[in-house]
Chains A and B, each alone.
Chain A
Amino acid sequence: MLALLPQLLLTGITIGSIYALIALGFVLIYGVTGILNFAQGEFSMLGALVCATLLAWHLPLATAALISVAATCVLGALTERLAVEPAFGAHPLTLIIITFGVSMALRGLALMLWGADPYALPEFTPGPPLVLLGGVLVRQAVWAIGLSVAVVGALFTFFVRTVPGAAVRACADNAFACRLVGISPRRVSLAAFTLSAALGAVAGIVITPITGATYDMGLGLGLKGFVAAVIGGLGNAPAAVVGGYLVGIIESLATGYLVPGYAGAITFLVLLAVLFLQREGVLHGAQRRQA
């Protein structure tokens, strides 16, 4: 039983790093606009499938990945402009239903364009798996963990050190005051959707060499990222990242030690437990008690 533990933890951290990226996308949009973006997972799906298609057109992997991230960014911006912006200021439930609509539309369109068959991407650096602490780690997992840490680091630097980053944080804090000092909340909202799409696309591309990519991968990824964001308190980016790793590890342990089919339910049991215990999220609550 215990011999499995290192392996399960490594797997959990790998998938958790992907959930962390998606959770960060949620938090970004929620913080700025107050919208729960249920289409977040679809950005991952699109990033992965566009990348696979470009690769099939014999583009180098790095180029294909960059183009597909850029394409997903455009799509994120379009989502904001075409679906969210026209309903700006509507009831929060209206906006949630809209993002559900966007998610369904993107999934259906992907099915029409790519069909139901899974697509693959090669590992970024092929080679034999690494052995670490008694567990096996495929090389792509190192990429997943490393890239997510790098992206999260870059994002925090952006928010803390740059003026546009400060504008986004200011907008999350008080949109009205932002307008008074000349920051347009609508432009910041556009930026948040674009950036979240990029985060989603990176997550989708990085995980595809391990799991493959299908038109319906976004739903599962998005919901897990969502649970991670809620565990982290939805308004708190570092906590959302930790939440991502937690969800990954919980899911991996549940798959290893329980019947695998129940793993999906476990994640949502955790979600319900978190919602029941504390609306602001477990990590956020703990932080608050310390303060």
Chain B
Amino acid sequence: MLNRQGRPTTPGDALQSDHPTFTGNKALSQIEPLIFETGRLETTGVDYEAPKPFVARLGGFERKSEIGLPGLSEPEAMRHYVRLSQKNYGIDTGLFPLGSCTMKHNPRLNEKIARMPGFSDVHPLQPVATVQGALEVMHTLSHWLLELTGMDAVALSPKAGAHGELCGMMAIKAAIAAKGEAATRNVVLVPESAHGTNPATAALIHFVVKPVPVREDGTVDPAVVASLAGPDTAAIMLTNPNTCGLFEKDVVAIADVIHAAGGYFYADGANFNAIVGKARPGDLGVDAMHINLHKTFSTPHGGGGPGAGPVVLSELLAPFAPVPFVRHTEDGFELVESEAEAANHGAHAFGRMTAFHGQMGMYVRALSYMLSHGADGLRQASEDAVLNANYVRACLADLMSLPFGNRPCMHEVLFDDAWLKDTGVTTLDFAKAMIDEGYHPMTVYFPLVVHGAMLIEPTESESRVSLDLFIATLRDLAMAVKRGETERFTGAPYHAPVRRMDETRAARSPILKYTPPEPILQAAE
């Protein structure tokens, strides 16, 4: 019998034209209203029983009107957030070249291990006898962090980079106070190219910040540091590699100058991922350094997950490390929880940074990353990160401008906007056009020491194929700038779910609260 279900299966001419839709959606690309606009006041996804009569004890201040929150059914609420998540861009979507942020791949093995119940379901107040495995992870992680940095002690608990900076600077402050110099030694030197958190951290604990100008080549000159250092110098805060993506080649001389003045060397470890396995901060004269576990050792950076910023300390600062810390004894692992207990072990802990023990999940992920890579793998990750950044630099140097000349960089490459001069296209426009091409832009307008900065950090996660497509895209955009196709940039993004924001108006007259249209307001009353 003839099957009569056959039909033409070539699309024909209709493919060529743009078809507006009734809903405004474009198949999988869906318009998502605010949750307030989707929901209805009379709807709820939960079936509550009416409360029993009760006497209010709020003295007449209890709410008498409707609260005005929109109700959604469970599928509506779920679809709202899933649709929003589909408009998001993350490291699981594509290359994420955000310089200084190290948006590297998070190996799924880390997630598997972190979800084991012995790690994910522990409570910070559980008896230590029942969390020996978790404590061993903390102890082993501490060991490897000290091994990789060449330092003497580590405080695991700080929750992220800036918190780690605060911890390290508090240890320095405690060491200065112990020497009886608290009143006189209060100046912290911070290079112009530093992360903004450095001067903010120093100021927060009442140090006086003195800026250090950078040389023509973007690095810090030990002679300039020497001219600024003196008996009032508490510390220098230096990032190495620095925020221009350059290795501070005089770092040892700078450390010597600071130590000779009686100060301490705080290293911002945000860029440690460029030198892991290649150089040990302890050998460079560093006294304190935070490590962004979420940058250097993966963990869910960019996925919105928590960070962790352990701080490693030199022999001079080690006694002042905060509690808690893990000790390994004959009877197993124990937690040193108080300053009095720490004193029993000869330490002068300056206090504690967190109520409990820090981000257990991050410790597990970081250790999983370390152990699965091994020493050779960690070294190769650093080498590949630096190689990838230099590959991007070498492939774009003829079209875009490098503020410090075409010389090797570390894990990130910094361009400025000199090449955009008089084109009618700004760094911001260029970044917006990258969104249309399906890339998250690089870091723009940071560091402040160069004009119209574009800081690209491809990370070690990207393959040659992936880098080549990224480079080809930037070359195509750069050549479009040079051909004068300014509209492609000044109007971008054209294809994002939301077009370019009016940042000035948003900053001058921000709307911080949803106001329902009139009929809904009346219904609520």
Q: Tell whether A and B belong to one assembly.
A: no
Identify the A interface with B (CB < 8 A): none
Identify the B interface with A (CB < 8 A): none
